[in-house]
């Protein structure tokens, strides 16, 4: 079997960039194993996109940085004191593999979509709590509303987000059946 020119370029990219990429990723993550997973995933994604990528090394390093940043962001969200289902789903991320982190990133995007459907003041309170980790007291001060109103907004945001996620996952299940 003859090696395609793009494949030989990719093999050279791998041999020339693997160590540098690993050192680069280690600046973002605490674990050598996590860095190994991110490097592997970044090379896989670069290889899968090789026909469309003009600058493979830049694409590789950008992909690795994005994967590491997403993982770190998801771990940071997991450390905040979220309420109900969000707390449970995000705390799992701390021990999750890279694949689970990618799924969690998708869930975060779905939560953001659901939050966009909330009324403006409710959305603001919900976003401050879920995405920025503000306490109820800080939200009340920042938005100039009572603690009771913050509690109602967060509860409504959680209920509507949960309903949105449930309906979206049901749609996916129906399409896969």
Residues 68, 74 contacting (CB under 8 angstroms): no
At 109, is the pLDDT very low, low, confident or very high (cuts 50, 70, 90)? Answer: confident
* Average confidence score pLDDT of the chain: 77
Q: What is the DSSP string of 88-156?
A: HHHHGGGG--HHHHHHHHHHHHHHHHHHHTS-HHHHHHHHHHHTT---HHHHHHHHT--HHHHHHHHHH
Given a cut of 50, whether residue 2 has pLDDT beyond it is: no
Query: Do 52 and 121 belong together in one domain?
Result: no
Query: Do 29 and 66 belong together in one domain?
Result: yes
pLDDT at 171: 64
* CATH code, domain with 10: 1.10.1740
**Looking at residues 152-176, what average pLDDT do you find?**
76
Among 79, 111, 142, where does a domain finish? 79
The greatest distance separating any two alpha carbons of the chain, rounded to the nearest whole angstrom, comes to 71
CA–CA dist 32, 45 (Å, integer): 20
Q: What is the pLDDT of residues 25-71, one digit of tens each?
A: 888 888 888 889 988 988 888 888 888 877 888 888 888 888 888 88
Could you count the other beta carbons within 10 Å of the beta carbon of residue 1? 3
The model's pTM: 0.42
Locate 56 and state its tokens.
């493979």
End-to-end CA distance of the chain: 39
Query: Do 55 and 93 belong together in one domain?
Result: no
DSSP, collapsed to helix, strand or coil, labels residue 29 as coil
CA–CA dist 49, 62 (Å, integer): 13
Query: Do 71 and 91 belong together in one domain?
Result: no
pLDDT at 29: 85
CA–CA dist 131, 137 (Å, integer): 16
- Our count of domains for the chain comes to 2
Instruction: Fill in the DSSP letter of residue 8.
Output: H
* CATH code, domain with 89: 1.10.10.10
Query: Do 13 and 88 belong together in one domain?
Result: no
> Which structural domain range is residue 25 located in?
1-79
At 149, is the pLDDT very low, low, confident or very high (cuts 50, 70, 90)? Answer: very high
Nearest to 130, CA basis, from 72, 92, 70, 81: 81
């Amino acid at each position: 079997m003859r090696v395609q020119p793009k494949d030989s370029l990719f093999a050279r990219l791998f041999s020339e960039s693997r160590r540098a990429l690993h050192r680069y990723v280690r600046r973002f993550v605490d674990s050598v194993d996590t860095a190994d997973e991110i490097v592997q995933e970044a090379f896989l994604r670069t290889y899968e996109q090789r026909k469309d990528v003009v600058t493979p090394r830049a694409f590789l390093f950008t992909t690795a940085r994005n994967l590491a940043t997403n993982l770190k962001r998801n771990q940071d969200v997991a450390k905040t004191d979220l309420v109900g289902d969000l707390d449970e789903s995000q705390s799992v991320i701390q021990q999750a593999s890279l694949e689970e982190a990618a799924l969690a990133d998708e869930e975060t995007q779905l939560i953001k979509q659901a939050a966009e459907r909330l009324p403006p003041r409710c959305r603001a309170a919900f976003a401050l709590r879920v995405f920025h980790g503000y306490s109820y007291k800080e939200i009340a001060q920042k938005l100039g509303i009572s603690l009771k109103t913050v509690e109602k907004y967060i509860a409504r945001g959680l209920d509507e987000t949960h309903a949105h996620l449930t309906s979206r996952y049901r749609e996916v299940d129906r399409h896969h059946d």
